[in-house]
Amino acid sequence: MSEFEGEVNLGKLGEEEFSRWCTAAKLVANRSLEEDTNGWDHLIEFPYLKFDGPRDKQPKPIECKVQVKSTQRTDGGVNIKLSALKRLVDYTSPTFIVFYEYDDSDAPVLENSYLVHVDKTLIYRVLKKIRENDLLDKPEKLNHIKLWVNYNDSLKLSRNDGEALRDKIMTFVPGGIVKYQQDKHVLTETVGYEDGGYQFRFNAVPDELEDYLMKRALGVAKSLNIKDTIMLDTRFQLEGINVQESQEAEIELLPQREDLCKLRFKTAQYSPAISFDAELVKVPSILERSARMLFKTNLFSIEFGSISSKGIERVTFHGTLDNKASLDDCIGFFKVFNPENSDNPLILEIDMEKYDSPLIEELCLSHKYGDFIDLAHNLRFLQSGFEIDNSLLVNIKQLVEEKSRIRLLCDLLRNDAGRIKFKYPDVPENERFRKQDEAKHLFTTMVNIGGSSFGVVALLHARYLKEFEYHAYSAEILDTISLHQQAPTQELLEELEQKAFKRLELDQG
């Protein structure tokens, strides 16, 4: 037999084999005209899947790019140019590398075939290698860098034919080509940032930063002025690339909630508890290089230092009374933070969602809040009488401002009018009130609670004090008024008074 010089062109042999496969499996294979520059050898177009619905709603057919590698080696992989791999990564449709293993005979016979999907793992390796090269003082051209891509028996096709190839490719696109393209785009943008991918460096006064972190967690500050800022992209946990810098800037840091909890305050072990919904926020301490635990409610927060077997190192109280809170929370606040409890030990039980047993601590909360116990009782009385929603959001300072009117309204509802004195104007039509043993006077009062208005129209029974002046001793409620999220106009109040007065005249015959 004659012998000839030269070697078999394995690359061409593999390309032709792949083309035959595609034709037999009803796949359209478009060959790349730019050999070894586009990163792919074949653009494969799948036929439409059978569809029972209208054709305008038919799912888009799959398409993918494939690079074919033929070898007579058995080392389970090849080195591929990074520029070619980058093309496969950047293409949003599926991309694959097909490995053909031939025997070492002069007329090579295909023994095994493997399909390597350009998946998250390979995308990570490719993009990381590119970033590492870009960080060099003198980066190489990507077509001068190679990356080892391996395959093993788990990637082996069940048969050496086009149908096995086609069916295997389908398994990588279970949700359709559109979803695959969307997911791959997101993947290529986010891979390498799993453990964070940016460093932000800046200069700030330590005490100011420490103070800001706590105030931000409390919700009483938004931003902090900083200097000499640098934003570094540290993708793949590599050395950062400077992406932005500024001499002056403002930062806003968002506190991270660790847990939800309930704070229960007691004066004794078995006494009734006053409860507040809260959240646990860990606030970093720049000066102490530790985290401060902040149990935060709408109206106040309690800051704990480090916790050990000896107890809590430090307890700090923070009031945030500008925030709106539920009416129940405001009533509870007035009861817990009253002068009688200041500097006296209270038992605090903290029930956290992530822990089975509560944290129990005895503490003293020093404060200078006034005595609003009566206001708390009056609010509870109005809440019951007017069926005010417990979750109504109010401003606690506004409740304090309304304290006198709230007390007056409660007194009238309780028929306790002894605090009310009134005087008629000295005009001719009021001459009969100059000196009269008793008088009846129509009186309307309203209070504002959380934007809603509550009040009564009452008939006061009063005794003579001196000219035109009277002291009420009884209140007859003619009508109650409840307005959701609105304030009454003067015209409305006058109308309600007239209606109540007419009903009174009818009742009296």
Question: Which of 151, 168, 190 corresponds to the end of one domain?
Answer: 190
Domain count, the chain: 4
Residue ranges of alpha helices (H) inside 191-338 are 206-218, 327-336
**Percent of the chain whose predicted confidence (pLDDT) is above 90:** 68
Neighbours of 509 (CB within 10 A): 4
Shared domain check, 173 and 25? yes
Residue 329, judged by CB atoms within 10 A of its CB (0-12, 13-18, 19+), counts as: buried
Asked whether residue 445 is domain-assigned, the answer is yes
Shared domain check, 116 and 215? no
Q: Note the pTM of the prediction, 2 decimals.
A: 0.65
Shared domain check, 362 and 464? no
Domain around 203: 198-251
Shared domain check, 285 and 150? no
Asked whether residue 396 is domain-assigned, the answer is no
- For the stretch 302-339, pLDDT in tens is 998 766 556 566 788 999 988 999 999 999 999 999 99
Give the helix/strand (H/E) hosting 352: strand 345-352
Asked whether residue 383 is domain-assigned, the answer is no
- For the stretch 12-53, pLDDT in tens is 999 999 999 999 999 999 988 765 556 688 999 999 999 999
pLDDT attached to residue 509: 47
C-alpha Rg value of the chain to the nearest Å: 40
**Percent of the chain whose predicted confidence (pLDDT) is above 70:** 95
Shared domain check, 247 and 262? no
- For the stretch 45-87, pLDDT in tens is 999 999 999 999 999 999 999 999 999 988 899 999 999 999 9
Asked whether residue 394 is domain-assigned, the answer is no
Shared domain check, 464 and 413? yes
Asked whether residue 486 is domain-assigned, the answer is yes
Residue 50, judged by CB atoms within 10 A of its CB (0-12, 13-18, 19+), counts as: exposed
Considering the chain, what is the average pLDDT of its residues? 91
Asked whether residue 332 is domain-assigned, the answer is yes
Give the mean pLDDT per block of 10 residues along the chain (509 residues): 70 93 95 70 93 92 96 90 96 97 91 97 98 95 96 96 97 96 97 87 89 90 90 90 85 89 93 94 83 91 74 80 93 94 89 89 87 96 93 93 96 95 94 92 94 95 95 95 92 89 68
From CA 21, how far away is CA 1, in angstroms rounded?
32
Describe the chain by its helix, strand, coil percentages, rounded to 5: 30, 35, 35
Shared domain check, 184 and 112? yes
Asked whether residue 450 is domain-assigned, the answer is yes
Shared domain check, 247 and 120? no
CA 6, 7, 12, 18 torsion-angle sign: positive
Shared domain check, 174 and 41? yes
Asked whether residue 52 is domain-assigned, the answer is yes
Shared domain check, 362 and 286? yes
- For position 114, which CATH number holds? 3.40.1350.10
Shared domain check, 89 and 16? yes
